[in-house]
């Protein structure tokens, strides 16, 4: 069973330390390389689909979250305020209030919409120690987040477009089997008390799921405090289910932040705010990818894409030159010199690396390498530039 809590540590994907604290994992070089590959892919996927990327601080004044509704409905999951200079600041529990502020930073026209904003940013949840585990449940989350501001009549189309992005990314990442869930309002003060608002938002999501033919379960009590959402659920090897990607229709926060745009007739109109996360929190995604791929990541995702293996010390200068060419071509590559064991031992030690570049006397003379594939197949002498091209997500 590929439990990421064991395999992820063995592969150097993540680690923890009591001096940093529970629920606060760090990523060594292999994990950071995997995260950067995902980040670059999603950033480019979003760019190609009309998103503009923004950056916002991980702190906000308490008043910001009072305005957004988080303080009234979500405070128990937030870290307590910090007082600085007589003002209270909070580690943000989500990015949406910041994106609402960015939207209202200038006047918007109907010609500007839909406005699609995206960010990979930190958010923080005051999770209890008993629920923390590996990368699946953490206190500091790097969230792939995004918000689309659009007229109400465009909301269904934007929800569907967000699902297109999610399904494209899942296929490219090899996410595997998922389950769709329509998460709805529950009972109690956790949820905004506006039945008409909930009904309008829910109708949009139901329409999209119906038109796309997506079978789904319904989960009362799992909606966001401000509205319903489509959750895309994954399951770990132990059978534990969690949410990876989401799409939400929010009619609440645009009113709280007094967001508007100038309509065709010149009067002010209120936009809908569609929240969407293509791959969710990167920590949870990395955990799932470790478990799905068992460490044998696709070439474009692999922390090390190519390893250069000189047959003996005599070929080391040629191997080092080849390594420099690999790095210059954009490959994540490293050298496994002959003093680290026999060729067979070094190949076994790097069995999860997609491309193993063996440099013997003939290859050293030609400046190339014999390419061995992870599955044991032989590709012959493939130019470094071709290997680099094969190792890109949009190749």
Per the document, the length of the chain is 395
Tell me what the mean pLDDT of segment 140-146 comes to.
Answer: 97
pLDDT number for residue 379: 84
Beta bridge partners of 380: 371
Tell me what the mean pLDDT of segment 352-378 comes to.
Answer: 93
Helices and strands, number each (H, E), in the chain: 13, 18
pLDDT digits (tens, 9 = 90+) for 64-111: 999 999 999 999 999 999 999 999 999 999 999 999 999 999 999 999
Distance CA 231, CA 275 (A): 12
pLDDT at 1 over 70: no
Distance CA 72, CA 74 (A): 6
pLDDT digits (tens, 9 = 90+) for 148-198: 999 999 999 999 999 999 999 999 999 988 999 999 998 877 899 999 999
Which residues have a Cβ under 8 Å from the Cβ of 155 and sit 6 or more positions away? 204, 249, 272, 274
Q: What percent of the chain has pLDDT over 90?
A: 88
Distance CA 230, CA 276 (A): 9
Predicted structure pTM score: 0.94
pLDDT digits (tens, 9 = 90+) for 231-258: 999 988 778 899 999 999 999 999 999 9
pLDDT number for residue 245: 97
Distance CA 127, CA 22 (A): 10
Report helix, strand or coil for 85: coil
pLDDT digits (tens, 9 = 90+) for 3-24: 899 999 999 999 999 999 999 9
Q: Output the DSSP codes for 256-276.
A: HTT--EE-TTSSEEPPEEEEE
Tokens describing residue 7: 């395999």
Which residues have a Cβ under 8 Å from the Cβ of 190 and sit 6 or more positions away? 73, 74, 225
Tokens describing residue 245: 């990607």
Distance CA 163, CA 246 (A): 9
Tell me what the mean pLDDT of segment 203-229 comes to.
Answer: 95
pLDDT number for residue 230: 98
* Structural domains of the chain sorted by starting position, each given as residue range(s) with its CATH number in brackets: 4-293 (3.30.930.10), 306-390 (3.40.50.800)
Whole-number mean pLDDT of the chain? Answer: 94
pLDDT at 395 over 70: no
pLDDT number for residue 95: 97
């Amino acid at each position: 069973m590929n439990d990421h809590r064991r395999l992820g540590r063995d592969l150097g994907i993540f680690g923890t330390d009591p001096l940093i604290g529970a629920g606060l994992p760090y990523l060594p070089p292999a994990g950071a390389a995997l995260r950067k590959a995902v980040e670059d892919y999603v950033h480019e996927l979003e760019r190609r689909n009309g998103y503009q990327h923004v950056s916002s601080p991980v702190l906000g004044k308490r008043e910001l979250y009072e305005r957004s509704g988080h303080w009234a409905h979500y405070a128990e999951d937030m870290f307590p305020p910090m007082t600085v200079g007589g003002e209270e600041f909070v580690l943000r529990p989500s990015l949406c209030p910041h994106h609402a502020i960015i939207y209202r930073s200038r006047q918007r026209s109907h010609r500007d919409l839909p406005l699609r904003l995206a960010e990979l940013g930190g958010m923080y949840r005051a999770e209890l120690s008993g629920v923390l585990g590996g990368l699946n449940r953490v206190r500091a989350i790097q969230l792939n987040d995004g918000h689309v501001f659009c007229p109400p009549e465009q909301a269904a189309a934007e929800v569907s477009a967000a699902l297109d992005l999610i399904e494209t990314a899942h296929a490219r990442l090899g996410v595997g089997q998922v389950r769709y869930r329509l998460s709805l309002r529950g009972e109690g003060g956790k949820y905004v008390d506006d039945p008409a608002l909930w009904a309008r938002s829910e109708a949009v999501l139901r329409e999209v799921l119906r038109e796309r033919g997506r079978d789904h379960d319904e989960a009362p009590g799992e909606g966001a405090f401000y509205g319903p959402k489509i959750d895309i659920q994954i399951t770990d090897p132990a059978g534990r289910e969690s949410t990876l990607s989401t799409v939400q229709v929010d009619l609440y926060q645009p009113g709280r932040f007094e967001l508007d745009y100038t309509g065709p007739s010149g009067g002010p109109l209120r936009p809908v705010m569609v929240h969407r996360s293509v791959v969710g929190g990167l920590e949870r995604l990395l955990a799932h990818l470790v478990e799905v791929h068992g460490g044998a990541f696709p070439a474009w995702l692999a922390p090390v894409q190519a390893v250069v293996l000189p047959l003996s010390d005599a070929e080391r200068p040629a191997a080092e030159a080849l390594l420099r060419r690999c790095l210059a071509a954009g490959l994540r590559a490293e050298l496994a010199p002959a003093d680290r064991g026999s060729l067979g031992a070094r190949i076994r030690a790097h069995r999860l690396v997609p491309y193993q570049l063996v440099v013997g006397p003939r290859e050293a003379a030609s400046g190339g390498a014999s390419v061995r594939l992870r599955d044991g197949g032989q590709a012959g002498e493939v130019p470094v530039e071709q290997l680099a091209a094969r190792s890109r997500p949009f190749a």
